[in-house]
A and B are shown apart, each in its own frame.
Chain A
Amino acid sequence: MTALSLRGLRGGTGTTSLLAATGHALHSLGERVLLVDMCPENLLRLHFNVGANERAGWARAMVDGQPWQDQAWEVQPGLSLLPYGRLKYAEQDQVEQRLRNEPELWRRRQASLAAQFDWILFDVPLRLPGHARVGPCALRLQVIEADAACHVLLQQQEAHEEHLLINRYDAGSQLQRDLLLIWRKQYGERLLPLNIHLDEAVREALAFKKPVGAYAHASLAAQDILSLTTWCLTRRREAA
């Protein structure tokens, strides 16, 4: 099983939509995929038609003392989803504390799932170090947008381990083209050789409760996601 994590460099970079779309694309290529929502916003489930009033999830189960394994949804054979669950702020703090105290928890959980899935995809939140401590991930991607805020944040970054994936790229923008040029020079191979283009179909897909590949297969973003998936599969072959 290969583990992949996606994390935004800042809030609102479209990480959850990308993760949903990547999981769907990997599954469409015959891979067995589990998507895990590590974010208290608990939005990932909505890309897979789970009811908006559904409160269950692994973190909800942790607070309630229920087994986490029972919280997964099988979207289709070979495509499963483990939501975070609906929690109050105080309960989210409680989960964060538990995860900090038990840093090996997700490593163990991940190992126990290895036989059932080819891929496990984690949607990782910002600024919750306990929640971000998932098991070992062969592919770690940080989602950025080609704007000045991301440029400054990248320069301020202490760790440089994650790959960088540009989302919502608009080639019509002078600033974005300039940043792409600068970042290619500055970050080299750390920057993925593909960008996810700005595409209204991504926003519409969530409103339709679908990943973008299921909502608009021929859209630019869906095609970009297929390229991303090919990159992921290639990296897995290289690592093997």
Chain B
Amino acid sequence: MAPVSTALQVKGKVQSRADRADDIARLKQELELPELDYVDISAQLELQKALHRWPLLAEMERLQPKVLPPARKSELEMLS
């Protein structure tokens, strides 16, 4: 079998993509505070905007809230 060139380095169990990409997740790890209740407001606003732009997506989120936390859900209902 030919060697495969890859930029990915696999060392034991790989950190999840979100963990690698997310500075806050890293900070929680460094501070050993995995339960730290940090809310990324700008990310949530982006999600909220994405849901509001499209009536069907907003309706699905109202019926089965999956993406926004409960506090944001009420705002979503007000806006739609």
Contacts and interface: CB of A to CB of B under 8 A. Distances in A.
B8 interface: yes
A234 interface: yes
A155 B10 contact: no
Interface of chain B: mostly helix, strand, loop or mixed = loop
Contact of B57 (A31, A151, A177, A188): A151
A230 B57 contact: no
B57 A148 contact: yes
A178 B14 contact: no
A186 interface: yes
A182 B51 CA distance: 8
Given A185-B67, A230-B4, A148 B56 contact: yes
Interface in B9-25: 10, 13-14, 16-18
Interface residues of A, number: 26
B1 interface: yes
A152 B55 CA distance: 12
B60 A155 contact: yes
B42 interface: no
Contacts of B50: 177-179, 181-182
Interface residues of B, number: 24
Contacts of A158: none
A222 to B, nearest CB: 16
A129 interface: no
B19 to A, nearest CB: 10
Interface in A175-217: 175, 177-179, 181-182, 184-186, 188-189, 193
Interface of B: 1-2, 4, 6, 8, 10, 13-14, 16-18, 46-47, 49-51, 53-54, 56-57, 60, 64, 66-67
Interface of A: 29-31, 118, 148, 151-152, 155, 174-175, 177-179, 181-182, 184-186, 188-189, 193, 230, 233-234, 237-238
